[in-house]
Amino acid sequence: MKKIFFLLLTVTIIQFAQKKTFEQRADSVLALMNLEEKVGQLIQYSDGYATGGSTVGPKENMEELTRKGGVGSFFNVIGVKAIKKLQKVAVEESRLKIPLIFGLDVIHGYRAIFPVPLAEASSWNPSLVEKSARWQAIEAASAGLQWTFNPMVDIARDPRWGRIMEGSGEDPYLGSQMSAARVRGYQGKDLSANTNILACVKHYAAYGGAEGGRDYNTVDLSERNFRDYYLPPYKAAVDAGVGSLMASFNEIGGVPSSASKFLMTQILRNEWKSDAFVVSDWNSIGELIPHGVAKNLKQAAELGINATVDMDMQASAYYMHLAELVKEGKVNIKLVDDAVRRVLIAKFKLGLFDSPYKYLDEEREKKNVMSKDIVNVTKEVALETLVLLKNEKNVLPLKKDIKKLAVIGELANSNDDVLGGWAAQGRKEDGVSILEGIKNKIGMNTKINFVEGCKVLGEDKSGFEKAVEAVENADAAIVVIGENRSMTGEASSRASIDIPGVQEELAIQLIKTGKPVVIVLMNGRPLSFPNLQKNASAILETWFAGIQAGNAVADVLFGDFNPNGKLPVTFPRSVGQVPIYYNHKNTGRPHNPGDHYTSYYMDFDNTPLYPFGYGLSYTTFEYSAPVLSKTQIKKDESLKISFSVKNTGSVEGSEVAQLYIRDLVGSVTRPVKELKDFAKISLKPGELKNIEFTITPEKLKFYDINMNYIVEPGDFKVFVGTNSVDVKEARFSVVE
């Protein structure tokens, strides 16, 4: 025990000393800088300055701006060669030779594209997601980058919002696990290694709370709702040591994030004690003008720096006005120094001062970008993101010796859409379409007949007849429908969450042939398809599964992999139900079928199409009732929940056992369920495993009537199960 203590003490001293070193080294550079050079470190531009939003740009070109020390970072500069050219100017030709930091949106891969983040969250496997981020970092670092604008952790309960694809769904606990896993994966254990890159948790904060699911729209939350639901995943990233945050476009309750002292100073600096630097989103400081809180770019700059948004992405607000504001005494130079220090500390942590060319090895770039190894990892990850939603009459898995197979749908033949949105340097020629994956799997001995049937978009049904004929002449059919890759991501909100075009109508016609039909969904958001859901026998959710989508989906369709994904977000029956999420409040009149005066829609079944945490397997699992170590605990005590899960089917499979709690009575209303733990276990046929979760005081805390983050005495229910609805429960109490 003593040895461990002294080891921990030594590590802490080293870390403290190291942190001191980074700050001391940053301060030693800061002391040499003039005002223009300080402002320069707080300026970031996209390659070639790009346009889009920002109204003004530098008069110098990128090299001239770098040479004069007028810029701290570029993004969207691609390839070692191009990055090296600019870095050389910075560290060999500028006065103080301060290195640049180069960023890019590596959201789910640089060139080897992984499944979109919402798909990765469906794996409910934080170590797999960490591995994905690790490999993304190795590839991006090999391409010369030191910074990714990820993880995106915005809680999203509204599938109309296209950026739901970029996050980890509706739950703060699952979202926090994924957030921390990605920070660990990107940053590694030692940021100075040239395989690690700075992560950037975004979009701080609550960007996913946009009213109506309309991108960039107003967010208005109670502080309690904000802190209980939306804030935890950002805090998880900060606790995991994230080196930067990105301020979001939206306002919260009247204050745009890029002008929010509450977010940037009170929470991030004072409560969380974070020394991570904050970069604005694209021109989000400039957008304080249309938000109506700044009358011009100068006032926008003043609001941004006063809120401690350290770096101005693309708005030219700091470029044009920050030095002037300091000289006029409107901005305290200490604010500028603090911001510059945070940026310099990050560059020191990355080792850029000691070795500015450490990421810039063209041989390494050739070797690591799209390496065979990373391509294999994209498939390993994709397999665990696939969610089996329905499988009746044992349609799945299909037999490999099937003689004739019809494959239908424009998306089936797309090696582009599998990449999903925000696919950085991904190339469609790297993508394996679902049709290709099926051909790779069974093409040698099966007659595969592909018929498009219809497009993703549009009302043209002229292809239906040929598609019906193909299915009638086949032993089975795989019908791939959903959204194309541009229908989710930024500025991609939809007022409808139906399956676009006439795809659903085609699918139902094909089901009516009576042949075994497997519906494969390709989409970036929850979709509502109650009619198809009722008529289909087999439905597999594949999201946008990345460059190896086709091979991963084929493995599942033909039984070489038993699907084990679970939904990280609720699927509504209708957009009219939105917002609909599992961790909702009970209200004073919870829905009670048959009781008119309760909370429900008269024209729709009030349950979701598929609930949070839902996903099937080719086998079946049986849960025992949970047993508690105690049924009464004090506020500072923990208790254990034990239960068993048995594989009651005939094939090996993995299951995500989930733990939820309900606080029955609080000083404020509490959700009917809250996810507090989960475990992914693999079981052979007939195998039984015992699982034990611990409920700690931290898992019971919430913001009470006085906004204190505490455990309140009272009665609780605890639930264990395969999703947020099919659960077994027990009860316990907390006493003073």
Give me 631's structure tokens: 């049924």
Distance CA 116, CA 125 (A): 14
Task: Give the number of other Cβ atoms within 10 Å of residue 592's Cβ.
Answer: 11
| Shortest Å, Cβ 189 to ligand GLC | 25
Residue among 543, 601, 592, 597 nearest 572 (CA):
601
* Nearer to ligand GLC (CB atom), residue 200 or residue 520: 200
Cα separation values, 243 from 44, 64, 103, 491, Å = 16, 28, 13, 27
Pairing state of beta strands 147-148 and 101-104?
A: parallel
| Shortest Å, Cβ 379 to ligand GLC | 27
| Shortest Å, Cβ 312 to ligand GLC | 13
Site string for ligand GLC, 148-167 (x = CB under 6 A): -x------------------
Helix/strand/coil for 721: strand
* Nearer to ligand GLC (CB atom), residue 149 or residue 621: 149
Task: Give the number of other Cβ atoms within 10 Å of residue 440's Cβ.
Answer: 14
Q: List the Cα angle 299/305/311 in 5-degree steps.
A: 115
150 residue type, one letter: N
Interface with ligand GLC, residue 504, by CB under 6 A: no
535 residue type, one letter: N
| Shortest Å, Cβ 213 to ligand GLC | 16
* Nearer to ligand GLC (CB atom), residue 290 or residue 576: 290
* Nearer to ligand GLC (CB atom), residue 318 or residue 612: 318
* Nearer to ligand GLC (CB atom), residue 326 or residue 424: 424
Q: List the Cα angle 175/154/291 in 5-degree steps.
A: 165
| Shortest Å, Cβ 218 to ligand GLC | 16
* Nearer to ligand GLC (CB atom), residue 153 or residue 408: 153
Q: Are 508 and 392 in contact (CB under 8 A)?
A: no
Dihedral (CA of 38, 41, 43, 45) sign: positive
* Nearer to ligand GLC (CB atom), residue 149 or residue 623: 149
Give me 267's structure tokens: 């929470």
Among residues 124, 135, 277, 282, which is the contact residue for ligand GLC, using CB under 6 A?
282
Measured from each CB, the residue nearest to ligand GLC is 149
- Alpha carbon 75 to chain centroid, angstroms: 20
Residues in the chain: 736
| Shortest Å, Cβ 215 to ligand GLC | 9
| Shortest Å, Cβ 166 to ligand GLC | 7
Count, residues near ligand GLC per rule CB under 6 A: 6
* Nearer to ligand GLC (CB atom), residue 160 or residue 670: 160
* Nearer to ligand GLC (CB atom), residue 229 or residue 249: 249
Interface with ligand GLC, residue 490, by CB under 6 A: yes
| Shortest Å, Cβ 203 to ligand GLC | 6
Helix/strand/coil for 143: coil
**CA-only gyration radius of the chain, Å:** 26
| Shortest Å, Cβ 282 to ligand GLC | 4
Among residues 38, 67, 157, 202, which is the contact residue for ligand GLC, using CB under 6 A?
202
Helix/strand/coil for 293: coil
| Shortest Å, Cβ 490 to ligand GLC | 5
Site string for ligand GLC, 160-199 (x = CB under 6 A): ----------------------------------------
DSSP string across 92-126: HHSSS-PPPEEEE--SS-SSSPPPPHHHHHTTT-H
Angle between helices 317-327 and 333-349 (to 10 degrees): 130
Cα separation values, 565 from 125, 452, 654, 688, Å = 9, 28, 9, 20
* Nearer to ligand GLC (CB atom), residue 282 or residue 359: 282
| Shortest Å, Cβ 105 to ligand GLC | 5
Cα separation values, 17 from 11, 21, 298, 355, Å = 10, 6, 39, 21
Non-local CB neighbours of 484 within 8 Å, separated by 6+ positions: 411, 414, 417, 456, 457
Catalytic residue among 281, 430, 555, 677: 281
Site string for ligand GLC, 77-106 (x = CB under 6 A): ----------------------------x-
Give me 477's structure tokens: 């059919």
Q: Are 64 and 93 in contact (CB under 8 A)?
A: no
* Nearer to ligand GLC (CB atom), residue 135 or residue 282: 282
* Nearer to ligand GLC (CB atom), residue 257 or residue 415: 257
Distance CA 388, CA 705 (A): 41
* Nearer to ligand GLC (CB atom), residue 53 or residue 530: 53
Q: Establish whether 158 is a catalytic residue.
A: no
Three-state SS sequence of 343-360: HHHHHHHCCCCCCCCCCC
| Shortest Å, Cβ 317 to ligand GLC | 16
HSE-up (13 A, CA, CB side) for residue 121: 34
Which parts of 349-368 interact with ligand GLC (CB under 6 A)? Answer: none
The single residue listed with the structure tokens 């701006």 is 65
Cα separation values, 435 from 411, 542, 660, Å = 9, 14, 39
Q: Are 728 and 623 in contact (CB under 8 A)?
A: yes
Q: Are 43 and 71 in contact (CB under 8 A)?
A: yes
Distance CA 116, CA 135 (A): 15
Interface with ligand GLC, residue 215, by CB under 6 A: no
Helix/strand/coil for 458: coil
| Shortest Å, Cβ 149 to ligand GLC | 3
Interface with ligand GLC, residue 108, by CB under 6 A: no
Helix/strand/coil for 277: strand
Cα separation values, 712 from 601, 702, 715, Å = 34, 9, 9
Give me 607's structure tokens: 């349950």
Interface with ligand GLC, residue 281, by CB under 6 A: yes
Q: Give the residue numbers annotated as catalytic, written as ranges.
A: 281
- Chain contacts with ligand GLC (rule: CB under 6 A): 105, 149, 202, 281-282, 490
